Structure 1
Amino acid sequence: MSTSSDTSTGRFSGKVALVTGASDRGIGGAIVERLSKEGASVVIANRHEPKRVLKRLERLKTPHLFHTCDVTSAEQIAELKTLVDQQFGKVDFLINNAGIELCQNLEEYGEAEWQQLLDINLSGAIRMTRAFLPLLPSPGGVILNVASALGLGGCVGFSVYSASKAGLTGFTQSLAWELGPKKIRVVAIAPGIVTTPMAMRFADECESREEVEQLRQDIESVHPLGVGAPHDVANAVAFLVSDEASWITGITLPLGWAPHYDLPMHRYV
């Protein structure tokens, strides 16, 4: 565990954001950096320490807490909740970003593989939300779930991953109704392909320049504005948790991709 405290200014000054799965080069790390630059105190819950992210927070003098936490463990989540309650006393923005990806056809999955994928991507978000609901301000708290384009549209090789992300969309919609009377908002985002290590591994697995070029064309065919970067996702998150989005709840916002997502990933599975 590492901690730091100082003063911050910005539109999120006085707010506390908890982000799961904030890796150094991924979406979560970009979200942490964006919110901290605008004054939020941040809590990072990861299985591994994001050293680059923590160094940036130190440079920004951002109040923060890092604690090792596996979202499949109710015990570790409870421990994290105690620490957050002691240091900050609340969580204004709960951002369920932790997730894994596995691209293979259904018959190739072992029982443990698909159970782990669902346990992290879907059940992990549910565990975190149940645990931290008591720390969310009412009114004013925001829960943001990081779903995926593949939760809104199908793709060869992603049946279980798509199920986990579609589950997040349904969770978001129903929970928005449950928490509406408390004026706690629940939203989700569905990014297309983003330049993170998890997504870009497909290019690394291509065996020729021709395959790389075909992959580029396939991706661009469903991304009118091109492939996104982690900061593009972080920008959307900053808007959705802000007061400017105070009348938005229950939605899953697509980011960067065309409505009819049909990437022919069978070329790469």
Structure 2
Amino acid sequence: MTLQGKRVLITGASGDLGRAMAHRFLGLGADLALQYRSNAAGLEPVLDAAKEAGREAFAVAADLADAGGAERLAAAVQERWTELDGLVNNAGGARPQAFDAIAPEEWEQSLRLNLTAPFRLMQLLLPELKARAGAVVNISSVAALTGGAFGPSYAAGKAGLIGLTRSAARDLGPHGVRVNALAPGPVESEMTSSLAGPVLDGIIASTALRRLVGPGEIADAAAFLLAAGTAVTGQTLTVDAGRHFS
């Protein structure tokens, strides 16, 4: 499996999953555009690794939960690259909330981050993806299938992302662009560590393997979907230690 010379944009690159994917893609020979919201320090090891490997990597600050954030990110990437081999829509998140505690503005912000931003980035970067018959990997969540522990706005956004993946795969396939989704969970991350101990213990106990998923395992799956160069499109690959069986 190789990504040699491929240009890949990763959103949410400074988080646990984003960094794992960035290091994995670098190891496979990719050049990287790395979106982050505020944790620039989290990307320093990735940028250092890229320099050491002789690969191109640059960081772009953009808040994808804000209106216009996706547009600013796309413009920054297009300023550097006229062609794109891969887009990984990884930025996302939520905080656990009861159903009746979610304010309308929080609902809208969550959907902008988890669903609208991936849609806009695919739309805005389509010319660059078409130029290289590129691939898109949308990072959904097993919460889209189970309801999850992070509340309805997160589950709804991630479920919508699976629907978007299927629709985009049909529309973009004639252009040679493949679109797939990953449904991770529960992953060793800052997000899962925010859950109350008994809640997390219950989630782990519900998995067939009785463990969390490592970020590196998600990175390997994403690399496969980017590098496959096969007829795989419109699919959702669940990597969740056996929490949900479809």
Query: Is the CA contact 1:141–1:185 (under 8 Å) kept in the aligned structure 2?
Result: yes
For residue 44 of structure 1, the aligned residue among 19, 34, 39 is 34
For residue 7 of structure 2, the aligned residue among 16, 22, 25 is 16
Instruction: Confirm whether residue 62 of structure 1 aligns to residue 55 of structure 2.
Output: yes
CA distance in 2, matches of 1:218, 1:87: 42
**Which residue of structure 2 aligns with residue 27 of structure 1?**
17
**Which residue of structure 2 aligns with residue 233 of structure 1?**
218
**Which residue of structure 1 aligns with residue 232 of structure 2?**
248
Instruction: Confirm whether residue 183 of structure 1 aligns to residue 173 of structure 2.
Output: no
CA distance in 2, matches of 1:246, 1:224: 29
How far off its partner does 1:156 sit? 5.6
- Residues 119-268 of structure 1: pairs in structure 2 closer than 5 A: 119-138=112-131, 140-155=133-148, 158-202=151-195, 205-206=196-197, 211=198, 215-216=200-201, 218-224=203-209, 226-242=211-227, 244-258=228-242, 260=244
How far off its partner does 1:219 sit? 1.1
CA distance in 1, matches of 2:241, 2:224: 18
For residue 64 of structure 2, the aligned residue among 58, 65, 71 is 71
Query: Is the CA contact 2:142–2:148 (under 8 Å) kept in the aligned structure 1?
Result: no
Q: May I ask how many residue pairs the two structures share in their alignment? A: 242
Query: Is the CA contact 2:84–2:131 (under 8 Å) kept in the aligned structure 1?
Result: no
How far off its partner does 1:105 sit? 1.4
Which secondary structure does the structure 1 equivalent of 2:146 belong to? coil
Q: Which has the larger radius of gyration?
A: 1
CA distance in 2, matches of 1:107, 1:43: 38
Query: Is the CA contact 2:192–2:200 (under 8 Å) kept in the aligned structure 1?
Result: no
Mark the runs of 5 or more structure 1 residues left unpaired by the alignment. 1-9, 262-269
CA distance in 2, matches of 1:22, 1:235: 15
**Which residue of structure 2 aligns with residue 114 of structure 1?**
107
Which secondary structure does the structure 2 equivalent of 1:18 belong to? strand
Query: Is the CA contact 2:91–2:114 (under 8 Å) kept in the aligned structure 1?
Result: yes
CA distance in 2, matches of 1:222, 1:16: 35
CA distance in 2, matches of 1:47, 1:185: 27
How far off its partner does 1:73 sit? 4.8
